[in-house]
Amino acid sequence: MKKTTSKIYVCLSFLAVIVLFYSCEKDITVNLPTQEQKYVVEGYIENGMPAYVLLSKTADYFAPVDSASLMKYMVKDATVIISDGTITDTLLMASPDIGYFYYSPNIIGQTGKDYSLKIITAENKIITAETHMLPAIPLDSVWFKIQEGKDSLGFVWAHLNDPDTLGNCYRWFAKRLGKDKSFIPPPGSVFDDRFINGKGFNFAFNRGQVPNSTAKDDNNDEAGFFKTGDTIEVKFCTITQESYKFWRQAESQSAGSGGPFGSTAEIPTNITGGIGIFEAFNPTFYTVIAKKPN
Amino acid sequence: MYRKTIAVIFQLLSLTLYAQEKSTRHTLSGFVKDASSGEALIGANVYLKETMKGVQTNTYGYYSFTVEGSDSVTLMASYMGYVDYTKRLLPDKDYRINIGMQNKFIETREVVITGKKEDQNVSQPQMGKVQLDIEQLKSLPAFMGEVDVLKSIQLLPGVQSAGEGNTGFYVRGGGPDQNLILLDEAVVYNASHLFGFFSVFNSDAINNITLIKGGMPANYGGRLASVLDISLKEGNNKEFKAEGGLGPIASRLTLQGPIQKDKSSFIISGRRTFIDLFQRPPFVKKGSNAANNTYFFYDLNTKINYQISERDRIFLSGYFGRDVFNFKSADTGFRFRIPWGNATTSLRWNHLFSDKLFVNTSLIYSDYKFSFGANQESMQLKIFSGVRDYNVKTDFTWFPIITHNVKFGVNYIYHRFTPTSVEAKQDSTQFDLGGVNHLYAHEGAVYINDEWTVSDKFSVSPGLRYSMFDFVGPFTRYIKNGDFETVDSVKYGTNKKVAFYHGLEPRISAKYSITRNASFKASFTQNYQYVHLASFTSVTLPTDVWVPSNDRVKPQDGKMYAAGYFQNFKDNMFETSVEVYYKTMKNQIEYRDGAQPDDDVKNNTDNNFVFGKGWSYGAEFFIKKAKGKLNGWIGYTLAYTNRKFPDIKDGKTFPAKYDRRHDISVVIAYNMNKKWTFGLTWVYATGNATTLPVSRYFMFGPLDLQGIVYNGLPNMTSGQIYDIYGDRNSFRMAPYHRLDISATYNRPKRKRFESSWNFSVYNVYNRMNPYFIYFNNEVDQKTGTYKIQAKQVSLFPVIPSITYNFKF
C-alpha cells in the first residue's frame, strides 16, 4: 500500500525525466563549505537479542572514502551505557575483526521495556536517547506470487490485519537463504496505519538490495524480484513512530539523491546531541519457498 | 475609508454634470478595428492632433472622449504595426466614428516587436505595462518552432524565466502563482503543457497580449506580482480565412470567418502534438516501452460573437486543453494514466449605455484538473486535484471628459478547490484516505480607477479596490500535535463560515513630464492574494496544488513601490528607461522541511506549510530601438529577493528560489526585405539558487547479529550514505545563457495563399545550462573505494527546427 503511494511520486519524478529526451549531463566541480563533525548513532535492540550501538562521525562531503578511511570515522573510545529500567550496563567494544560496535550481553530485548541510552565521548560530550519495545504484530500469512507476464520472477505477498488502534508502524526485511548475507529492507520498507487503521489487506514487497550492489542478480532482469527456487525468510517488525519517521525520510533521501525532486530535509532523529536512531523493534519471522503454482 | 470612496464618486459625478452643461462639448466615440479582419484593436491610441490629448481603446476596442469648442479638429488613431489613421472633422455634434486601421505588416512586412503610440512609454502614467504583438513575435526564434507567449514575455526586463523547460515566470521577485494569467478574462491556473515545456496558449488564436508587471490598475486584483491579459481573436467578420502550421512538436489549424458579414463571426483553432501517433505499430513494436509510454497534448480555442445592435454585442469563447501521459511497466504490470488540463468558457455582453459609458458583463467558468489513475494487480489508486471557478463580473468604462477615463466594476467568484485527494482500493477493501476533499470559497471585489490628465505635464491614476474572501464549509480541520500527528478534528457544516478576510487595496501611479521626451513616474500598489500554490519540487509541475486562504493560511499581502525615469531620443527612435522597485510580501508559504507528498492525504494540505515573509528590490534598465529595419531592445535587471521563515533554518534569511541577481535580454529583429526577416535573442541570468548537501554519513541499518558472528560486519561500502544539507538556497548553479537565431522567409502571396518558413536554431553555441545538480556515488566493490562526483544535468543542446506556416 505504502509502497504504491510512494511509487507514484517516484514515477511522477521519472515522468519529468522521461520527457527530457534531449537531456545530457556532465561532471562538475562544486565547492562546499567545511562543516563541523556530528556524532552519528545507530542503536538497535531487537526482541531476544543483545543491544548494540554503532557510533561514527559525519564526514566532509567530498572526503576520500574507502574502507580504511571510513574506519577513521568510527568512534572507538566512547563510553556507551544502556539501561532497561532494571539493568544499567556499559557496553563492550566488539573485537576489531568483527567490526567497530558496542554491545551488551546483559541487555536482551524484551517486549514492553523502556530503554535509555547515554554516550560519553572522549571529549566528554554527552549523547542521549530513549526508546520502547512495542509488542509484535504478526502477519496473517505470507506467500510468493509470480508476476503477471513473468515466468519465474515474482514478489512476496502478505496479509496483515492491522489492530484497531491508530499509530502502528511496521518495517519489512527479507533474506534469500544462501544468497543474501543479511536481511535487506526493500525501498519503502516502512509504513504506518494512517490509511489502513483496523483493516485487513494484502500487500507485496519487491526484493531489496544492499546499497551499491554489484551482484549479478541486482543488475539484470532479476533485480527487484524473487525467483522460483528461492527460500525466502521474511522479518516483519513492529517499530516505533520515531523509527518510522526516521526510515521514511532516510529512504526518501536515498531515492531522490539530489535533483529537483529529491528532498533536502534533514532526517528526523530521536538522538539528543547527535543524529541517527536509537530503536527497539519486535520482529516475527516467516519462511516462504518460491515455487510455481501447481 | 468608505466615506472617502463615496466622496470621490461624487466629485467625479459633478465633473460630468459640469461637462453636460456646456453645449459646446461633443463626444467622439466608436470602435477601432483592423480594417481587413474586423478584429478589435486593444489599447490603440485615439487622440486629437491639436492637443495630443486622447484615450486608449479598451479590451473591446472602444474609445470615447469629449471635445470642446467649435473649431475643426484632427482625429488621429495609432496602433502598433498599423498605418496611422487621420480624419478632420468639425465637432458640431456627437459623432460615432468606427475606425478601420490598415495593417502595416501586410504592406511592408516591417516587424516591430512591441509597438504603440510613439511616445506612449513617456506620456502614460501607467508603469510597467507592455503590449506584445503576436504576429510580430512569430518572427523571433522559437523553441522547437512553437511560438510561445510565455517565453516571449520572459525577454522583458523584470520578467525572469523560472528556468529551462519551464513556462513559469517570476516578475520582480514574485512566485509563479503570483501572476494573474487571463484568457478572455478567465483565470488559467496552470498555463503549461508537457510538464512546463510549452505554454497552453496557441499563438494563432491570440489577438493581444498585455503584461502589467507593476502599478497594477484597480480593475485587476487577486495576485501580487503581475497580470498577463490575453485576448483571443474574435474571428474575421469580413471573409473566410484558414491558417495553420506544421512544426516539429505540434501542428496547428485555425479557421475563421463571418457568420453574418460585419455582424457576427467565429474562430476555431486547434493544436495537437503528434509524437504519440508514431508510438504505435508499425513504427514501434507492440508492447515495447515506446508503445507503452505515450504522451500527447492538444488544445482547442473557439469564439463566436454577434452584434445584436449598435449598442449591444455578445461574445462566447472557450478553451479546452489536455495533456495525457500513459505509462505501463512491462516488468511489474504497474500502469498509470495522467490526464491534466484547463477548460475555460467566457460569455460576455458589451453594452453602450451612452457614448460615454461602456459596460461589459461576463460570466466565466474556469476549471483546472489533474488526475492520476494507477493500478497494479488488484490494487487501484486514484489521485486528483484541481480548481473550479464560477465568476461573474461587470466592468464599466466611463469617459466623462477628455481628461478623465474612469473604470469601475464589481466581481464575484465562487471557488471550488480540490487539494490532493486520494482513493485507493484493493479488491473490495477500500482504504481510508480521507475521501474526496473539496474546499469552497466566495471571493468578491469592487473597484474604481481613474486616469486623470491634470495638466499637460502631470497626470495621475488613482484607484481603489476592495476585496473579500469567505472560506466556508463543509470543511474538516485536522488538528496536529508537535509531531504532526492528528490529535483532533473540527468539522464545519455546509456554508458555515471558516475564515473571512477582506481589505482595501489602494493603487496610485503618477507621471510628471520634464520635457516632451522625458518623464518621471512613480507608483504604489497594494494587493491581496487569497489563493496559494504549493509545490513540493523546485520545478513547476502539474501536481502543484492550489490552496485557498483559510483559518490557518492568511492572504498574501503585497506592497510595491516603484519609480522610473523615461526618455526618448531621436524623434522616438530610441526609448530608454530606468525603473526601480521595492516590494514586500507577507504570508508567503513553503512546505515545512521533511514534509512528504503522502502527508497531504487525510490531512489539510496547509498543516504541512510554514509561513514567512519575503521582500525584493531591484533596478531595471531598458533601451530600445523602436523604428527602422533593424530594431529590438536590450534589458538588464539587477534584483534581490529574500525570504525569512521562523520555521526554516532557525529563521535565517535565505534567498528565494526566484532570486536572480543579474538578468540580461537582447532581442533584435532585422527586416532585410519583404521576403526575409531575421531574429536574434540572447539571454543571460545568474544561476539558480539551490540547496546542496555539505556533509554525509554512513549507516548500516539493523545488523544481522547471528550473521556477524560468522561473517563479521558487512563491508563498509554496503552501508547507505545519507546527506546533511547546507543552508537553504545557499548554493548557486552556473549562470544561464543562451543564443537563439531565426530566419523567416515569406513566400510572395499568390492569389489568396500566403506561406512562410521559419528556421530557428535554439541554443546556437550549445551552452550546457544547468537544470539540476546531483551527486553520484560510484563504488568499486573490489577496492571498497567510493567516489562522489557532482553531476550537472542540462536539458537542451543546440536544437534546430523548421516550421511551416500558411494562410489563405
The nearest alpha carbon in chain A to B543 belongs to: A12
More confident residue, B34 or B416: B416
CATH of B2-108, one of 2.60.40.1120, 2.40.50.140, 3.40.630.190, 1.10.730.10: 2.60.40.1120
Higher pLDDT, B537 or B687: B687
Which of A15-24, A67-76, B720-729 comes out lowest in average pLDDT? A15-24
The torsion angles phi and psi of B355, rounded to 5 degrees, stand at -60, -20
User: Mutate which of B695, B708, B715 to test chain A, going by most A C-beta atoms within 10 A?
Assistant: B695
- Mind listing the pLDDT tens digit for each residue in B411-469? 999 999 988 888 887 777 777 777 777 899 999 999 999 989 898 889 999 999 999 99
Q: Which of A22, A28, A196 sits opposite B790 (nearest CB)?
A: A28
Q: Please name the residue of chain A whose CA is at the shortest distance from the CA of residue B701.
A: A42
Where exactly are the structural domains of chain A?
39-132, 135-272+281-289
Q: Which neighbouring-strand residues pair with A93?
A: A102
Q: For residue B785, report the phi and psi dihedrals to the nearest 5 degrees.
A: -105, 135
> CA–CA separation, A65 vs A79, rounded Å?
26
- Would you state the cell numbers that stand for residue B296, as one nine-digit string? 500527447
Asked whether the bond before B474 is cis by omega within 30 degrees of 0, the reply is yes
| A128-154 average pLDDT score | 92
CB nearest B791 (choices: A28, A97, A199): A28
Q: Is the CB of B584 inside 8 Å of chain A's CB atoms?
A: no
* Residues in chain B within 8 Å Cβ distance of A66: 783-786
- If one compares A182 and A287, the residue with the highest pLDDT of the two is A287
Please answer whether residues B299 and B314 qualify as being in contact, where contact means their C-beta atoms are separated by less than 8 angstroms: no
Name which residue leads in pLDDT, B10 or B317: B317
pLDDT reading at B286 higher than 80: no
Contact B426 A26 (CB under 8 A): no
Q: What is the pLDDT of residue B21?
A: 47
A34, closest residue in chain B (CA to CA): B694
CB contact under 8 A, A212 and B381: no
Q: What is the pLDDT of residues B145-191, one digit of tens each?
A: 788 888 888 888 888 887 776 768 889 988 888 999 999 989 998 88
Do B594 and A249 make contact, defined as CB atoms within 8 angstroms? yes
ipTM of the complex: 0.89
Lowest mean pLDDT among A39-43, A115-119, B130-134, B494-498: B130-134
Q: Which of A18, A35, A54 is closest, CB to CB, to B695?
A: A35
Q: Is A93 on the interface with B (CB under 8 A)?
A: no
B544: closest chain A residue by CA: A12
CA distance B84 to chain A (A): 47
Whether B709 and A98 lie within 8 Å, measured CB to CB: yes
CB-based contact, A273 to chain B, within 8 Å: no
Query: What's the mean pLDDT in B735-760?
Result: 89
User: Strand pairing of B73-78 and A226-227?
Assistant: unpaired
- CB pair distance less than 8 Å for B383 and A8: yes
Domain covering A39-132, topology = Immunoglobulin-like (2.60.40)
- What residues contact B782, with CB distance under 8 A and at least 6 apart? none
User: Nearest CA to CA, how far is A155 from chain B (Å)?
Assistant: 10
Could you read off the pLDDT of B360-370 as tens digits, one per residue?
999 999 999 88
The yes-or-no verdict on residue A56 having pLDDT over 50 is yes
Do residues B162 and B197 make contact, with C-beta atoms less than 8 angstroms apart? no
Q: How confident is the model at residue B332 (pLDDT cuts 50, 70, 90)?
A: low
Of the candidates B720, B775, B787, the beta carbon closest to that of A211 is on B720
> Which residues of chain B have a CB within 8 Å of the CB of A264?
593, 691, 693, 725, 728
How far apart, in whole angstroms, are the C-alpha atoms of residue B416 and residue B41?
A: 35
Subunit contact B327:A15, Cβ cutoff 8 A: yes
Nearest to A22 among B378, B790, B797 (CB): B797
| A162 inside 8 A of chain B by CB | no
Chain B residues near residue A253 by CB distance under 8 angstroms? 722-723
Q: How far is CA B50 from CA B67, B72, B76, in A?
A: 11, 10, 10
Residues of chain A neighbouring B787 (CB-CB closer than 8 A): 65
Q: Which of residues 466-505 of B touch A (CB under 8 A)?
A: 483, 485
The shortest CB-CB distance from A29 to any of B333, B381, B790 is to B790
| Contact (CB<8Å) A259/B734 | no
pLDDT per residue as tens digits for the range B662-682: 999 999 989 888 889 899 999
Question: From the CA of B727, how many Å to the nearest CA of chain A?
Answer: 10
Among A1, A58, A212, the residue with its CB nearest the CB of B717 is A212
Per-residue pLDDT tens over the stretch B643-658: 999 988 888 999 988 8
Per residue in B549-607, pLDDT tens? 999 999 999 999 999 999 988 888 898 999 999 999 999 998 887 777 777 777 888 88
- CA nearest to B728 within chain A: A264
Q: Can you tell me whether residue A164 is helix, strand or coil?
A: coil
pLDDT tens per residue across span B189-208: 888 877 667 888 888 889 88
Give chain A positions within 8 Å (CB) of B720: 211, 250, 254
pLDDT number for residue B68: 77
Partners of A182 on chain B (C-beta within 8 Å) are 703-704, 707, 714
Residues of A in contact with B325 (CB under 8 A): 15
pLDDT at A240: 95
Range of weakest confidence among A76-80, A257-261, B615-619: A257-261
**pLDDT for res B57:** 87
Q: Write the burial class of residue B71 (CB in 10 Å: 0-12 exposed, 13-18 middle, 19+ buried).
A: exposed
CB pair distance less than 8 Å for A263 and B721? no
Q: CB distance B788–A65 less than 8 Å?
A: yes
A/B interface, count of CB pairs below 8 Å: 276
pLDDT for position B14: 46
Residue matched to cell numbers 489492530? A163
**Residue A196: what pLDDT?**
85
Asked if B164 and B144 touch (Cβ cutoff 8 Å), the reply is: no
Is the Cβ of A61 closer than 8 Å to some Cβ of chain B? yes
Tell me how close the Cα of B198 comes to any Cα of chain A, in angstroms.
12
Q: Over 50: is that where the pLDDT of B93 sits?
A: yes
Asked if B377's CB is within 8 angstroms of A33's CB, the reply is no
Is it the case that residue B215 has pLDDT exceeding 90?
no
Sorting pLDDT into bands at 50, 70 and 90, what band is B393?
A: very high
- Give A235 or A201, the one with higher predicted confidence: A235
More confident residue, A166 or A119: A119
Chain A hits for B705, CB-CB cut-off 8 Å, are: 46, 49-50, 52
Please give the residue that has the higher pLDDT: either B780 or B493: B493
CB contact, 8 Å: B433 with chain A? yes
What phi and psi, each to the nearest 5 degrees, are found at residue B190? -140, 105
A220 touches chain B (CB under 8 A): no
Contacts of B57 (CB under 8 A, 6+ apart): B31, B32, B40, B41, B42, B43, B44, B46, B63
Q: Using H for helix, E for strand and C for coil, what is the string for B132-183?
A: ECHHHHCCCCCHHHCCCHHHHHCCCCCEEECCCCCCCEEECCCCHHHEEEEE
Give the three cell numbers for residue B165.
523547460
B718 and A211 within 8 Å at the Cβ level: the answer is yes
Task: Say which residue, B242 or B92, is predicted with more confidence.
Answer: B242
Residue whose entry in the numeric block shows the C-alpha cell 471635445: B67
| Chain B CB within 8 Å of residue A126 CB | no
Whether residue A147 and residue B781 make contact (CB cut-off 8 A), yes or no, is no
What pLDDT, on the 0 to 100 scale, is given for residue B3?
A: 47
Strand order in the sheet with B54-56: B54-56, B45-48, B73-78, B85-89
In B329-454, the DSSP E strands lie at 335-354, 357-376, 379-398, 404-426, 429-430, 439-453
pLDDT at B165: 65
- Chain A CB contacts of B377 below 8 Å: 148, 204
Rounded Cα gap, residues B804 and B808, in angstroms: 14
Is the Cα dihedral B236, B241, B242, B245 positive or negative?
Answer: negative
Measure CB to CB from residue B431 to each of A40, A71, A195 and give the nearest one.
Answer: A195
